[in-house]
Chain A
Amino acid sequence: MGPTFGRGAMTNHWNDIANSDCIMIIGCNPAENHPISFKWITKAMDQGAKLIVVDPRFTRSASKADLFVRLRPGTDVALMGGLINYVLAHNLFHQEYVVNYTNASFVVDPGFSFHEGLFTGYHKEKQSYDTATWDYLTGPDGKPVTDPTLADPRCVFQLLKAQYARYTPAMVAATTGVPQETFLKMAALYTATGQPGKSGTIMYAMGGTQHSTGVQIIRSYTILQQLLGNMGLPGGGINALRGENNVQGSTDMAILFHIVPGYMAIPSEAKHPTLKDYLEKETPKAGYWSNKPKFFVSLLKAFWGDAAKKESDFAYDYLPKIGKGFQGAGYSWIPLFEAMGAGTVKGMLVWGMNPAVSSPNLNQTYHALDQLDWLAAFDLWETDTSVFWKRPGADPKKIKTEVFLLPAADSLEKEGSASNSGRWLQWRYQAVQPHGDARSDLWYANRLGLELQKLYKAEPQAVFSDPIVNLTWNYGADPDVHLVAKEVNGYTVADKKQVANFTKLMDDGSTACGNWIYSGSYPGPDKKDNLMTRRDKKDPSGLGLYPNWTWAWPVNRRIIYNRCSADPQGQPWSRDKALCRWDPAAKTWMKNDVPDFGWLNPKTKEQIPPEVSARTPFIMLPEGKSRLFVPQGLCKDGPFPEHYEALECPFHNPMSRQQHNPVVKIWKSALSKFAEVCDPRFPIIATTFRVTEHWQAGAMTRNLDWQAELFPEMFVEMSPALAQAKGIKAGDWVKVKSIRGEVLARANVTPRVGAFCCGTGNFQNTVEMVALPWHFGFDGLITGGPAGNNYAANQLAPEVGDANTMIPEYKAFLVNIEKV
């Protein structure tokens, strides 16, 4: 979504789903994993909205759908491609929107083309693209050439048309297993939201992303939404349902390997040796990101305070860089565990996670953990990870890893903010004192920082101690979370006054800000200035925006890209769903939401007429328009999504000769193995899923008797036909095997899953699918079955990542199944 719209977060917010006319749930299962969202879905449906659920499994969400579409795992691009083709072929797109607000009219470099599943510039050996031709054609003025009539055969619109003409209903059926009839029903239902004034929303989560083609799958959703003019409107948008309650906060704060807080790239040794290089290369000429130097320098200032001087490039050297020292290639999950397995990484802090259950290819994970010198787990309780050395089949005597378990306070035992999917930063108060000896995560982190500073200061010979010694670390011995929140908001260095928001940040070192997108959340010195604590239930617009309920980033905008909710003249597409309206007589904007566009000239204090902002409704992108075509290799696997098969797949790609994502990353180590295409040993597709009743790797629910009794044992969903063929009865224990491992599970024989008939001509084939919840393990009140076994589904899953995000392909791989 970042490359398409400029920001990677949920575009709307939970309450807003109620405003939708048609909701497409694809690649997620909100009834089970985001139950509260169904409050709003139900509300929308009560008002007449239609619900479409696309999933390989008939889920609890599907039970509420007007239309359920059962698609083969990993084929979302093909389905979306079919819909895109349908929209284009039947002229159902929102013409005015597409021409003005997307890059449809941009003309593309003549060198760019697509053939047999590959875009121009592919290097087979390097498994990567030279993306030079993936760009706009620029005119003599250096600006991209456009054709607002969309007639130019080289314009994005026409290329899009050509790209997806191949996705006919028949091809969709052959690829996804969705019968044409169902597909056409779906197409008619959803594309109705292309009418001006109608809005449709897409909700997705891990069913869409956990694929080797994850980014392209999401890209395909965005293209459909752009064509139908569904972005920026109440009841529209693309709603990425975040997982853990504060995972939005964790990405915002860059608990990731490739960015620093505020979605700025982590510097790379090769590309950005100096601050100047970084700022020049990373700052676009146009769009709001042109302010990046202010945000970046303020961040460095927040990190290193007085040590971050202008003369020393604001301590830019202190920042770790990709390609330098330990950072290596940048450690996302899979490479990190591979590096542990190889002995490069020797210690690990496991902080609120349970990789002994959640990692793909667990046998490799265990091997990696076995190699560690030490492991410190910060958790509420003993987890499968902190006792990985006690797992079934392991010999504790042979494992040298020293393990520390540090008791963490849970969310009710500490104060602080949590950012939800809708970008709302909600302040929470401490309800009870931490249990036993538990401490908050902040307390541990603070203490760790203080100890490290002490140690480094005491050791003059320490290598590269400046970044630690000079770190601004002034939250007190018993850390005050408000001090952290205030630093995140930002302040002027001279007088330590909180800044109002990020427009006040400077690139000269006069301001410091821990995270520019959060700037404005705590704009004053007092606890009452903490906007995250606001709890005003007034909703003047009636659109569920609740502007004074807590605070949303950026600057309290509830629906981002909201310029698109009105036509170029500033008149809302839908009368009763107006986020902003231009009053031509008064020359002013009526605003229900904080405008996500330039509406006021800060100097003249005059309001900016709609025609101006209509040119750049996507302020975070240099071209100001959302991208049907993503230029410059921002998506490594292509500017347009193309269907490729999962790495382990029982079908040959019906769309092209290119079987897999051409730039997919594979780790082949002794324990990282893959089944072949159409491997006869593993003829069944497997996917993994969650249930409402359990939480993630299970430590939080398998240890609670109330939750445990709801789903006490590991199970595997399989169709009655498969069960019959294998002589399996409902409730039997069965063994599910992949090339990497095996797991025991109870047979859940149900028509909720079934076989897929895919392929064309002679290659047509019917393949069964099974589905496994991945919450079980080997430690805790319940593990998933009788003691002495490991019930973690991830013993089966492959170590293969999406080409862009490295998210593992948990949702489609191959297995076999047998009765035990």
Chain B
Amino acid sequence: MSKAVLIDTTKCIGCRACQVACKSWNDLKGKKATFSETWSNPRFLSSYDYNRIIFREISHPDGRLDWYFIARRCLHCHDPACASACPVGALVKMPEGPVVYDDVKCIGCRYCMMACPFQIPKFEWESAVPLIRKCTFCADRLAEGLTPSCVATCPTGTLLFGERPALLKEAHRRIGAAPQRYYPQVYGEKTAGGTSSLYLTAVSFEELGLNHRGFRTDLGDVPQGLYGREWMSKVPYVGVAVGALAVGLHYFHQRRAEVQAEERKED
């Protein structure tokens, strides 16, 4: 049941149709911009841009040039930091895959932005009543039996939508069939406890210089929701323990004081 998008960046031609399709479906306006030397524009994800193509030029000593295009958007983690952070449960991982957001619940505390290791949730800074914005996995389209808007638009098949296990199988098949073409890892298979956006790249995210820019490779396989949950699982016990201890100590000290007072009297 769990859907995912396999992003085989080796097939991406950087046409940015997905970027525009995303804006189109989500009714996001374009912003005044200036020329970006890398061609990536807008330069950051924002409440206007849930999806963005990063252009990466890598010159090799032998004069060869590589030019990579990497679509950046929410990874739709299985156990998302954002959802575990949100105090009101406005962000929720659906069993179908998407991590969705509820406009009506959100209080605008931005803890999800702090918590997401991929810096995905963005805030409507220009609004007086701002909400959080990020890729929705086009959950509204999925509900209608459609594929995400970006996927439907991608001309090259870089974006492949389907059942996650099947996509993983396909990803590994591709790596196996053309090992020279791929970095031997499906980013998102285990990363951060697994995500619903899965990436195949030609080289590692370190080599792309993106490991600190949204494609962290230092998270290991730890589900990102774990940290908060671990803490919260201790909270009731700590609470009860502190309470009990407090009561206990109170009576203990009171008793001791009484005894001391008695003793003093006896003196």
Which residues of A approach B to under 8 Å, CB–CB?
A: 31-32, 35-36, 38-39, 42-43, 58, 60-64, 68, 692-693, 704-715, 730-731, 746, 748-752
Bound CA–CA A3/B42 (angstroms)? 47
Bound CA–CA A730/B156 (angstroms)? 31
Instruction: Pull 6 A–B residue pairs with CB atoms less than 8 Å apart, ordered by A.
Output: A39-B156, A42-B11, A63-B13, A706-B20, A730-B37, A752-B65
Partner of A706, one of B13, B15, B23, B66: B23
Given contacts A36-B155, A42-B156, A63-B69, contact A712 B16 (CB under 8 A): no
A sample of 20 more A-B contacts (CB under 8 A), given A711-B39, A730-B37, A731-B37, is A31-B15, A32-B15, A36-B155, A38-B13, A38-B15, A58-B65, A60-B13, A60-B67, A61-B13, A692-B14, A706-B30, A708-B30, A709-B32, A709-B33, A712-B32, A713-B35, A714-B35, A746-B35, A748-B35, A750-B37
Closest to A704 in B: B30
Which residues of B approach A to under 8 Å, CB–CB?
A: 11, 13-17, 19-20, 23-24, 29-35, 37, 39, 41-42, 57, 59, 65-69, 155-157
Bound CA–CA A752/B66 (angstroms)? 9
Partner of A63, one of B31, B35, B66, B155: B66
Q: Are A63 and B59 in contact (CB under 8 A)?
A: no
How many whole Å from B38's CB to the nearest CB in chain A?
9
Q: Are A713 and B16 in contact (CB under 8 A)?
A: no
Partner of B31, one of A693, A705, A746, A752: A705
Q: Are A692 and B157 in contact (CB under 8 A)?
A: no
Q: Are A64 and B13 in contact (CB under 8 A)?
A: yes
Partner of B34, one of A32, A64, A712, A748: A712
Q: Give the 6 A-B residue pairs with the shortest CB-CB distance, closest first.
A: A705-B30, A31-B13, A63-B67, A713-B35, A712-B33, A709-B30
Given contacts A38-B155, A39-B155, A60-B14, contact A710 B41 (CB under 8 A): yes
Q: Are A750 and B32 in contact (CB under 8 A)?
A: no
Q: Are A692 and B57 in contact (CB under 8 A)?
A: no
Bound CA–CA A397/B156 (angstroms)? 51
Bound CA–CA A705/B32 (angstroms)? 8
How many whole Å from B189's CB to the nearest CB in chain A?
21
Bound CA–CA A68/B68 (angstroms)? 15
Closest to B20 in A: A706
Bound CA–CA A474/B73 (angstroms)? 55
Collect the chain A residues with CB atoms within 8 Å of residue B39's CB.
711, 748
Collect the chain A residues with CB atoms within 8 Å of residue B19's CB.
710
Q: Are A713 and B155 in contact (CB under 8 A)?
A: no
Q: Are A60 and B15 in contact (CB under 8 A)?
A: yes
Bound CA–CA A749/B23 (angstroms)? 29
Q: Are B66 and A711 in contact (CB under 8 A)?
A: no
Bound CA–CA A58/B34 (angstroms)? 23
Collect the chain A residues with CB atoms within 8 Å of residue B11's CB.
42, 64
Bound CA–CA A35/B69 (angstroms)? 14
Closest to B37 in A: A730
Given contacts A62-B67, A63-B66, A712-B34, contact A707 B20 (CB under 8 A): yes
Collect the chain B residues with CB atoms within 8 Å of residue A43's CB.
157
Collect the chain B residues with CB atoms within 8 Å of residue A58's CB.
65, 67
Collect the chain A residues with CB atoms within 8 Å of residue B13's CB.
31-32, 35, 38, 60-61, 63-64
Collect the chain B residues with CB atoms within 8 Å of residue A38's CB.
13, 15, 155-156
Closest to B67 in A: A63
Bound CA–CA A371/B65 (angstroms)? 49
Bound CA–CA A365/B157 (angstroms)? 42
Collect the chain A residues with CB atoms within 8 Å of residue B155's CB.
35-36, 38-39
Q: Are A748 and B41 in contact (CB under 8 A)?
A: no
Bound CA–CA A42/B10 (angstroms)? 10
Collect the chain A residues with CB atoms within 8 Å of residue B29's CB.
705
Collect the chain A residues with CB atoms within 8 Å of residue B67's CB.
58, 60, 62-63, 752
Collect the chain A residues with CB atoms within 8 Å of residue B23's CB.
706
How many whole Å from B196's CB to the nearest CB in chain A?
23
Bound CA–CA A712/B42 (angstroms)? 10
Interface core residue of A63, A693, A749 (most chain B CB under 10 Å):
A63
Partner of A710, one of B16, B37, B66, B157: B16
Interface core residue of B15, B17, B35, B156 (most chain A CB under 10 Å):
B35
Given contacts A63-B69, A731-B37, A752-B67, contact A692 B31 (CB under 8 A): no
Bound CA–CA A713/B41 (angstroms)? 11
Bound CA–CA A704/B33 (angstroms)? 13
Q: Are B37 and A712 in contact (CB under 8 A)?
A: no
Closest to A712 in B: B33
Bound CA–CA A752/B58 (angstroms)? 10
Bound CA–CA A791/B165 (angstroms)? 50
How many whole Å from B47's CB to the nearest CB in chain A?
14
Bound CA–CA A645/B152 (angstroms)? 45
Partner of B16, one of A693, A704, A714, A752: A693
Closest to A58 in B: B65
Interface core residue of B19, B20, B29, B68 (most chain A CB under 10 Å):
B20
Collect the chain A residues with CB atoms within 8 Å of residue B157's CB.
39, 42-43
Closest to B29 in A: A705
Closest to A706 in B: B30
Q: Are B34 and A713 in contact (CB under 8 A)?
A: yes
Given contacts A63-B66, A705-B31, contact A35 B17 (CB under 8 A): yes
Bound CA–CA A750/B19 (angstroms)? 23
Collect the chain B residues with CB atoms within 8 Å of residue A710's CB.
16, 19-20, 41
Bound CA–CA A711/B155 (angstroms)? 20
How many whole Å from A51's CB to the nearest CB in chain B?
12
